[in-house]
Structure 1
Amino acid sequence: MENKKVWFVTGASKGLGLTLVKELLSQGYQVAATSRTVESLTKEAGASSDNFLPLEVDLVSEESVKKAIDKTVEKFGTIDVVVNNAGYGQFGTLEEITDKAARQNFDINVFGSLNVIRFAMPYLRANRSGRIFNISSIAGFLGNFAGWGIYAATKFAVVGFTEALSAEIKSFGVKATVVYPGYFRTNFLESDSFSVIESNIAEYADAKASLDAHQQQINGNQQGDPLKASLVLIKVAADDNPPCIYFWARMQMTWQKQKLRRLKKI
């Protein structure tokens, strides 16, 4: 039986977003997917079809996001599930990172998602149903990674506004979930998804070591499977009572215990 649920997925031309879109289409869902260019989407996920709407969107622009939401509803009639997946990694110590770079990371990772929520919610609220998934990071749970301060701050922000959103929309029958991914085999650490501020202060040896480890050892060797993660997300979306907080990580218990140990020292 053809599945008529309508999904709206941002950051869909690569990585987890692309894997999710392909799996959704294979299962018969209707999917609107966004990227910075339509060409990058259609190259990877296929041309526009009865079930697929590729959209070129500037997430920082309210006008661009509104047009994307309007086009989705025009084509499919509604929106049922929103996945705020778009984002990129930013590396640089807080002393070295520029104001511009820090604000740009917040623009995409935080304010882009808020724009999507702002224009999707009227439809979800009218339907008295729907799911919103905001993709955070393990860096939004543990921030003690040298050189990742701004990125962690954006992902902590995602957690905070998702928890508030969950409380705000529960009376409408809409559920919000923040997802904590661990390391997945995607191109997150490649240059087109990962921005690095060139270090000019040699004393930051720990940050330099962290950068080297991520680029030379972790990149390409991540244990997480984006297809398995996509299947889990689809399953959670179908739950009547999905959790507000969801961990996608083999190291989940280790990280949680580490956080608790730090809190107990307070």
Structure 2
Amino acid sequence: MTTEKQNDKVWFVTGASKGLGADLVQRLIGEGYLVAATSRNKLALINLIGEQENFLPLMMDVTSNADVKNAVQQAITRFGRIDVVVNNAGYSQIGAIEELTPEEVQKNFDVNVFGPLHVIRNVAPHLRAQGSGHIFNIASIGGFVGNFPAFGIYCATKFAMAGYTEALAVELAPFGIHTTLIYPGYFRTNFLEKDSAMVPAHPISAYANVREQEAQHLDEINGNQPNDSKKAATVFIALSKQEQPPVHFFMGLGASDFVKAKLSVIEQALIDHAELAESTAITY
């Protein structure tokens, strides 16, 4: 058991000006942790927390590798190290696969997939050098279950994060670095508000199921999510204190229901088609 005080740890949190990130940073600061928090809007961070000795607000565009490298270096210069990284920055691009433009798709991947990779690429050398650390990659339940019409591209970005996080976990384990992939269910944040979730620029009217799902999320689920993001902050801190934290963590009431439903479908598909699937074996 380490003798290091837990609140001596330095946290680096992206997308920290609202939602889960904002609640996490506020909780961390309140408990005396050292926190570097990033946003495209530095003033929003200052307005959220104020000027505090243990808080470093940083303006950072997660899609810019140069921006990320600079922010990581500023955090290390200020606090001497980084211990816990939370890749939280991201947004939901709504729209049917057919109707989304290449630019809409690319932007969602730039922020949700390549942005966290910039952070990992720039922070990993420091974590390896100190022989410790914990990376949280915030996916979504949509990074495990993708059958949401209107959210295919967003789910694809989170599936991508899930894929490289599984590899990252085994790559970094020999260096004493933990990696946890968080799959949040529905949390009551501004994630589904109209200034956060992006709707398609050129909707196709034929996709009635897509419009129905879009309206359900923006008008019915939004504001009625069953989970409290302030309680999620407590969960992150608890996970960061575990000696052997999980690689996969499904967070929030209802998340496990989605997981069990998909596992059931996959298991049944394996059973129903086993003979045909294995008919490709080379015989001698």
Are 1:92 and 1:199, in contact at CA under 8 Å, matched by a contact in 2?
no
**Mapped partners of 1:2, 1:141: distance in 2:** 31
**Mapped partners of 1:207, 1:2: distance in 2:** 46
**Mapped partners of 1:242, 1:101: distance in 2:** 35
Q: 1:86–1:200: structure 2 CA closer, same or farther, 3 Å change rule?
A: closer
- Which aligned pairs between 1:235-250 and structure 2 lie closer than 5 A? 235-250=238-253
**Mapped partners of 1:252, 1:59: distance in 2:** 27
**Mapped partners of 2:68, 2:175: distance in 1:** 23
3-state SS of the aligned residue for 2:103?
helix
2:11 matched to 1:7?
yes
Task: Give the equivalent residue in structure 1 for 2:273.
Answer: none
Q: 1:2–1:260: structure 2 CA closer, same or farther, 3 Å change rule?
A: closer
- Which aligned pairs between 1:178-189 and structure 2 lie closer than 5 A? 178-189=181-192
Q: TM-score, normalised by structure 1?
A: 0.97
**Mapped partners of 2:261, 2:54: distance in 1:** 44
Higher radius of gyration, 1 or 2: 2
Task: Give the equivalent residue in structure 2 for 1:113.
Answer: 116
Aligned partner of 2:169: which letter? S
Task: Give the equivalent residue in structure 1 for 2:234.
Answer: 231
- Aligned equivalent of 2:24, options 2, 20, 24: 20
- Which aligned pairs between 1:123-162 and structure 2 lie closer than 5 A? 123-162=126-165
Task: Give the equivalent residue in structure 2 for 1:59.
Answer: 62
Are 1:18 and 1:45, in contact at CA under 8 Å, matched by a contact in 2?
no
**Mapped partners of 2:203, 2:137: distance in 1:** 34
- Aligned equivalent of 1:190, options 193, 209, 231: 193
Q: 1:252–1:200: structure 2 CA closer, same or farther, 3 Å change rule?
A: closer
Task: Give the equivalent residue in structure 2 for 1:80.
Answer: 83
For residue 249 of structure 1, report the CA deviation from its aligned partner.
Answer: 2.2
Task: Give the equivalent residue in structure 2 for 1:101.
Answer: 104
**Mapped partners of 1:245, 1:151: distance in 2:** 19
**Mapped partners of 2:114, 2:213: distance in 1:** 27
**Mapped partners of 2:236, 2:58: distance in 1:** 22
- Aligned equivalent of 1:204, options 204, 207, 219: 207
RMSD: 1.2
For residue 191 of structure 1, report the CA deviation from its aligned partner.
Answer: 2.5
**Mapped partners of 2:26, 2:256: distance in 1:** 30
Identical-residue share of aligned pairs (%): 50
Are 1:136 and 1:179, in contact at CA under 8 Å, matched by a contact in 2?
yes
**Mapped partners of 1:18, 1:260: distance in 2:** 33
**Mapped partners of 1:200, 1:183: distance in 2:** 25
Name segments (4+ residues, structure 1) moved above 4 Å: none
Unpaired stretches in structure 1, ≥5 consecutive residues = none
2:176 matched to 1:170?
no
Unpaired stretches in structure 2, ≥5 consecutive residues = 271-284
